[in-house]
Amino acid sequence: MPKITGYETHDVRFPTSLTGDGTDAMNTDCDYSSAYVTLLTDSDLVGHGMTFTIGRGNDIVCTTIKAVADRLVGKDTEELFGNMGKAWDHLVADPQLRWVGPEKGVIHIATGAVNNALWDMFASLKVEAPLEAHRRLHPCIYPAYVTSAGWLGYSDEKISPHGFNHFKMKTTSAAGKLIRSLIDDPTLLPEGVSPRDPESDDLKGKNAGPTGSCLAEIKPWFIEEPTAPDDILGHATIRKALKSSNIGVATGEHAHNRMVFKQLLQADAVDVAQIDSCRLAGVTEVLSVLLMAAKFGTIVCPHAGGVGLCEYVIHLRYVQRSPVPPCNMERNVLEYVDHLHEHFYTPCSINARGRYNVPSNPSEGYSIEMKKESIAEFEWPNGTYWQGRRKSEA
């Protein structure tokens, strides 16, 4: 089997702050960015991986990725693929690098990029034969909730259902009422789809009743990250207080490792666990959280509101062990944002019913290989886009 001989990193930043993508109360100026790595071998075998930031600091992550990836140079891929858990342990075991975490912050998301690249390399060797059988079993699988409808920087005109029946919105009363009206408008349903009974088993509890003047018209299924992301007891207190109002609590986008999820689950602090494929340290750590959530019977709705994350989560849904019956897919929904997919060779896609399509190319690995022309255009600071922008601003 090939040996890993080196790696390449790229600091790729997209100017999404110009269009308001990603804006919320905390993040008002987001340039969606990829700290991107390619693992190289002494053969044609390569592995692509990344983690996600919103601009400044992406260079720091790229530098850290190099330090982590160094630990794989010279390693035999057969040995690594033979025990991916052990390979992950090796990545996080450098005592000096570990000191600047441990297992959190920049060092952890950099580890995630490298671990994701290793899984991409491994997956490119595997042919997923069950794809067609899986599609026949669930012809409209993987429902998505759309976040693009709710960015605070968007005008009312940009808010549109586009076939989705799950929406994430930022907390402004006007936008919330508008999105609620779109959800409840039967004329906006896809062709051939009838309105559904909110009291059915699929939807019961997902449209909260009146909960006070500020939320009575919006009726949310859950509120996301209502306090600091690592405030486990705070989430538990809020969840308990909202129980009588039939509103759930979700968090996890900023949960920096599996231990935070372990405590959230043990403290009965969340109704929905939102794993992030780039905040956690790669597929290996994600798997541990999925297993814990299955044990506790907690719904998992992955976060995917950034460049490359949608391409990742469709694969993670394969291995998710849902706490609801396999044919009831209405609660384990995946986040979707409708931008930047064109920069990947094998982008994810959404059908007319607001559901992810199953990846059909058995050689695409983890679906994260970025187009070379996109890297050349948007690499910071000397990509052609950024050079041109500096000239125009001068």
Catalytic choice (206, 303, 315, 343): 303
For residue 8, the cross-strand partners are 38
Concerning whether 170 is annotated as a catalytic residue, the answer is: yes
- Quick check: helix, strand or coil at residue 10? strand
303 is catalytic: yes
The candidate with the shortest Cα–Cα distance to 69, out of 87, 45, 43, is: 87
Local structure of residue 188 (DSSP, 8 states)? G
Cα 258-368-40 angle, rounded to 5 deg: 95
Is the distance from CB of 192 to CB of 169 less than 8 angstroms?
no
Chain Cα centroid distance, residue 347: 14
CA distance 42 to 46: 9
Could you tell me which of 340, 337, 356, 280 has the C-alpha nearest to residue 114? Answer: 280
The percent of the chain in helix, strand and coil, each rounded to the nearest 5, is: 40, 15, 45
Quote the distance between the C-alpha of residue 247 and its chain's center: 23
Interatomic CA distance for residues 277 and 105, integer angstroms: 14
* Rg from Cα positions in the chain: 21
Q: How far apart are CA 61 and CA 242, in angstroms?
A: 38
Q: In this structure, what token pair is assigned to residue 54?
A: 């919103």
253 membership: H or E segment, kind and range = none
CA distance 153 to 20: 5
Of the chain, the end-to-end C-alpha distance in Å amounts to 52
Please tell me the distance from the alpha carbon of residue 169 to that of residue 158, in angstroms, as a whole number: 13
**Identified catalytic residue from 48, 170, 256, 343:** 170
Q: Give me the count of residues in the chain.
A: 394
Helix/strand/coil (H/E/C) assignment for every residue in 292-337: HHHHHCCEECCECCCCCHHHHHHHHHHHCCCCCCCCCCCCCCEEEC
- Residues serving a catalytic function are 170, 303
